[in-house]
Amino acid sequence: MSEQLENNKSLNFIESIIEEDIKAGKNESRVHTRFPPEPNGYLHIGHAKSICLNFSMAKKYNGKCNLRFDDTNPVKEDVEYVDSIMEDIKWLGFEWDGEPLYSSDYFEQLYDWAVKMIKNAKAYIDDQTSDEIASQKGTPTVPGQESPFRSRSVDENLDLFNRMKSGEFKEGEKILRAKGDMASPNMHMRDPIMYRIIHNEHHRTGNKWCIYPMYDFTHGQSDYIEGITHSLCTLEFENHRPLYNWYLDQLTDTDYRPVQTEFARLNLSYTVMSKRKLLQLVEDKLVNGWDDPRMPTISGMRRRGYTADSIKAFADKIGVAKRENVIDVSLLEFCVREDLNKKADRLMTVLDPVKLIIVNYPEEKEEMVSVDNNPEDETRGKREMPFSREIYIERNDFMEDAPKKFFRLSIDKEVRLKGAYIIKGENLVKDADGNITEIHCTYDVDSKSGSGTEASQRKVKGTLHWVSAKHAVPVQVRQYDRLFNNEDPASQEDFKTSLNPDSLTIVENCMAEPAIVNLKSLDTVQFQRQGYFCVDIDSTSEKMIFNRTVTLKDGWSKVINKK
Ligand code: ATP
Ligand code: MG
């Protein structure tokens, strides 16, 4: 008993429901879920939560998970979105059962079901405008008014519906409504619309149809057709559930029934997650497309260097519950950092280079030094880096009038060049404006890392990354900050006023060690002491471009704590 309690405790509420259903033998104890995106935009991190939930429930309970495109609105849908959705799900590492499915494959069946409802006097054609219909809706506490067309005969309704289908009417001229209950406290039950006329080519059915079923008249039926057992959706559909069940009651008479269960959607701070808003950012060119690395889309995150594992770990950490909340985006960044720390090889790249000359190092000499690819993972081995008399270091790793606690380079102070020698600041060369153009140093000839000499063991306070100047590869680095500087941009009258004008900074001529040329598109590395960076998809061998995936530490939590 106690063991069972223990087990139940670790289940989320959906797992508890599924396990009870299996035990009770409901729907032959099958588990069949589905992920039902509307192909009207790219998937975002909220969808990833739903994908992880649906696919992982199927996996955990030896069931199946379908991919079903909920494509009932030809105006907004497009094959570009269908393709991107499939790519994103596969990239996350999930496999749907069989072929991708489409609600539009069920148009014929849905039409027949609509006819059945008309014949059973459960549906009628309404000639009113949408404004008139809206004005009769009532409020949750005030019953609505019945449409004057509600009492049309079955024959007239059948005839009109057929003529709607054959394209005789203009959009908005007629709709098919269910005979629900205009006094129901649930507004969705007040004669909901089943079909509307849309004269628009559909991405799959072309011009075959000019009447299209509404979401509510499609979703439950599609679940039913596919043998779905657990239809998991977000809380905003809770009020639709009675309608979901009512349609199935009208149309089917089997013991088998899909059951809708709602969970809280993912809300993430500092971003927006409505596809409508994301589309606006794309269309108004406020970002560079759906896969802009600042976007909360899966394709944007992929391009930025987030791994599928880190997104899945994030989904796991936030869990599923019934209550809405807002997750801090820094939790997602934490998951990315944690995963990349294990996976990403290290490279040295100087983002803001200043030249450093080691005056006692022979002018023509070059040598190789050996550095770890990943100190967290010995199996990643070591690589060789060229060292020479002239190198680049970060401008802010040197300070002329350094305070005591400055553990980087200064005149008369020593630091170690990572994997190489200890150097000491000697002199500076400045331009007419007083900017440092060269730092002159001397090096301790015996201090080479790993050489086994006493001097190689010598401890100095700071260690700097560096790149040999004549071997350096100039690269472009794109630094990202949050796309919005408001925690809840959607709460603003116009969410676009919260856009952060400094969300993208492009830095040219960052100096990378030569091994960088071995990286391929979308490879992620750690630039030591700087953060994780990913090769952008537009990067070429002539001009390498890097996106900063995430910094090494959560710089924001410090800022937030200071407030
Ligand atoms: P949006 O509101 O962003 O336009 P949507 O709900 O209209 O999204 P769909 O394509 O209909 O997008 O969503 C497919 C599935 O993903 C649905 O089951 C939906 O409940 C789920 N989903 C959408 N947004 C989130 C979210 N933020 N968190 C969890 N699940 C979500
Ligand atoms: Mg939707």
pLDDT at 555 over 80: no
Cα(330)–Cα(270) distance, rounded to whole angstroms?
Answer: 10
Ligand 1 atom, smallest distance to 234 CA = 20
Say whether both 516 and 405 belong to one domain. Answer: no
9 Cβ contact partners less than 8 Å away, ≥ 6 residues apart: none
Tell me whether residue 376 is in a domain. Answer: yes
pLDDT recorded at residue 492:
94
| Per-residue model confidence as pLDDT tens digits over 468-510 | 999 999 999 999 999 999 999 999 999 999 999 999 999 999 9
pLDDT recorded at residue 174:
98
Instruction: Give the end of a domain, one of 465, 491, 522.
Output: 465
Residue nearest ligand 1's atom 26 by CA: 46
Tell me whether residue 270 is in a domain. Answer: no
Say whether both 208 and 71 belong to one domain. Answer: yes
Say whether both 191 and 239 belong to one domain. Answer: yes
CA angle 438, 440, 443 (to 5 degrees): 140
Torsions phi, psi for 185 (to 5 deg)? -65, -20
pLDDT at 4 over 70: no
Instruction: State which of 68, 234, 274 you would mutate to test the pocket of ligand 1, scoring each by most atoms of that ligand within 8 A of its C-beta.
Output: 234
Cα(407)–Cα(425) distance, rounded to whole angstroms?
Answer: 13
pLDDT at 560 over 50: no
Tell me whether residue 494 is in a domain. Answer: yes
Say whether both 10 and 39 belong to one domain. Answer: yes
Cα(389)–Cα(365) distance, rounded to whole angstroms?
Answer: 7
User: Does the Cβ of 37 fall within 6 Å of ligand 1?
Assistant: yes
pLDDT recorded at residue 559:
43
Instruction: Give the end of a domain, one of 444, 465, 486.
Output: 465
What is the token pair recorded at 434? 């007083």
pLDDT recorded at residue 561:
40
Instruction: Give the end of a domain, one of 431, 465, 499.
Output: 465
| Per-residue model confidence as pLDDT tens digits over 342-387 | 999 999 999 999 999 999 999 999 999 999 999 989 999 999 999 9
pLDDT recorded at residue 5:
46
Say whether both 247 and 363 belong to one domain. Answer: no
| Per-residue model confidence as pLDDT tens digits over 105-124 | 999 999 999 999 999 999 99
Q: 273: CA distance to ligand 1 center in Å?
A: 9
Say whether both 442 and 505 belong to one domain. Answer: no
Percent residues over pLDDT 90 in the chain: 95
Kindly state the DSSP code that residue 297 receives in the 8-state scheme: B
User: Does the Cβ of 73 fall within 6 Å of ligand 1?
Assistant: no
Say whether both 339 and 358 belong to one domain. Answer: no
pLDDT at 173 over 80: yes
CA angle 114, 117, 118 (to 5 degrees): 90
Average pLDDT over residues 204-215: 98
- End-to-end CA distance of the chain: give it in Å, rounded: 49
Residue nearest ligand 1's atom 16 by CA: 47
Tell me whether residue 160 is in a domain. Answer: yes
Cα(306)–Cα(312) distance, rounded to whole angstroms?
Answer: 11
Pairing of strands 123-126, 175-178: antiparallel
Which domain CATH number covers 431?
Answer: 2.40.240.10
Local confidence band at 9 (pLDDT 50, 70, 90 cut-offs): low
Of the listed ligands, the closest to the CA of 40 is 1
Q: 37: CA distance to ligand 2 center in Å?
A: 7
Torsions phi, psi for 52 (to 5 deg)? -60, -40
Say whether both 252 and 291 belong to one domain. Answer: no
Which domain CATH number covers 28?
Answer: 3.40.50.620
Q: 34: CA distance to ligand 1 center in Å?
A: 13
Q: 278: CA distance to ligand 2 center in Å?
A: 14
Residue nearest ligand 1's atom 18 by CA: 233
| Residue environment code for 492-511, b if the CB has 16+ CB neighbours within 10 A, otherwise e | eeebeebbbeebbeeeeebb
pLDDT recorded at residue 558:
44
Tell me whether residue 58 is in a domain. Answer: yes
520 Cβ contact partners less than 8 Å away, ≥ 6 residues apart: 535
User: Does the Cβ of 38 fall within 6 Å of ligand 1?
Assistant: yes
Instruction: State which of 40, 42, 50 you would mutate to test the pocket of ligand 1, scoring each by most atoms of that ligand within 8 A of its C-beta.
Output: 50
Mean per-residue pLDDT of the chain: 95
User: Does the Cβ of 233 fall within 6 Å of ligand 1?
Assistant: yes
Q: 113: CA distance to ligand 1 center in Å?
A: 27
Distance (Å) of CA 432 to CA 12, 30, 352, 397, 438? 67, 78, 20, 22, 13
- What is the SS3 assignment for 85? helix
Tell me whether residue 536 is in a domain. Answer: yes
Say whether both 322 and 378 belong to one domain. Answer: no
User: Does the Cβ of 15 fall within 6 Å of ligand 1?
Assistant: no
Q: 151: CA distance to ligand 1 center in Å?
A: 37
- The label of the residue with tokens 């013991």 reads 255
| Per-residue model confidence as pLDDT tens digits over 49-65 | 999 999 999 999 999 99
Instruction: State which of 45, 231, 265 you would mutate to test the pocket of ligand 1, scoring each by most atoms of that ligand within 8 A of its C-beta.
Output: 265
Tell me whether residue 268 is in a domain. Answer: no
Neighbours of 114 (CB within 10 A): 22
Active site residues: 38, 265, 275
DSSP letter string, 357-375: EETTS-TT-EEEEEEES-T
Kindly state the DSSP code that residue 290 receives in the 8-state scheme: T
User: Does the Cβ of 380 fall within 6 Å of ligand 1?
Assistant: no
User: Does the Cβ of 47 fall within 6 Å of ligand 1?
Assistant: yes
Say whether both 156 and 14 belong to one domain. Answer: yes
Q: 383: CA distance to ligand 1 center in Å?
A: 45
Range of the domain at 419: 349-465
Q: 47: CA distance to ligand 1 center in Å?
A: 6
| Per-residue model confidence as pLDDT tens digits over 304-353 | 999 999 999 999 999 999 999 899 999 999 999 999 999 999 999 999 99
Local confidence band at 10 (pLDDT 50, 70, 90 cut-offs): confident
> Is 513:349 a contact under the CB 8 Å cutoff?
yes
Instruction: State which of 47, 85, 103 you would mutate to test the pocket of ligand 1, scoring each by most atoms of that ligand within 8 A of its C-beta.
Output: 47
Cα(440)–Cα(425) distance, rounded to whole angstroms?
Answer: 6
Q: What is the largest CA-CA distance in the chain?
A: 101
pLDDT at 452 over 90: yes
Residue nearest ligand 1's atom 29 by CA: 265
Residues 300, 304, 305, 309, CA torsion sign: negative
User: Does the Cβ of 39 fall within 6 Å of ligand 1?
Assistant: no
- What is the SS3 assignment for 480? strand
> Is 315:226 a contact under the CB 8 Å cutoff?
no
Tell me whether residue 269 is in a domain. Answer: no
Cα(246)–Cα(365) distance, rounded to whole angstroms?
Answer: 83
pLDDT at 213 over 60: yes
Residue nearest ligand 1's atom 22 by CA: 47
Distance (Å) of CA 423 to CA 83, 318, 360, 404, 543? 55, 47, 10, 18, 32
> Is 349:289 a contact under the CB 8 Å cutoff?
no
CA angle 472, 516, 481 (to 5 degrees): 95
Cα(284)–Cα(277) distance, rounded to whole angstroms?
Answer: 10
| Per-residue model confidence as pLDDT tens digits over 402-444 | 998 999 999 999 999 999 999 999 999 999 999 999 999 999 9
User: Does the Cβ of 248 fall within 6 Å of ligand 1?
Assistant: no
* Domains contained in the chain, number: 3
Kindly state the DSSP code that residue 69 receives in the 8-state scheme: E
DSSP letter string, 525-544: EEETTTEEEEE-TT--SSS-
Say whether both 323 and 365 belong to one domain. Answer: no
Say whether both 114 and 227 belong to one domain. Answer: yes
pLDDT recorded at residue 343:
95
431 Cβ contact partners less than 8 Å away, ≥ 6 residues apart: 437
Residue nearest ligand 1's atom 1 by CA: 274
The model carries a pTM of: 0.94
Cα(176)–Cα(171) distance, rounded to whole angstroms?
Answer: 12
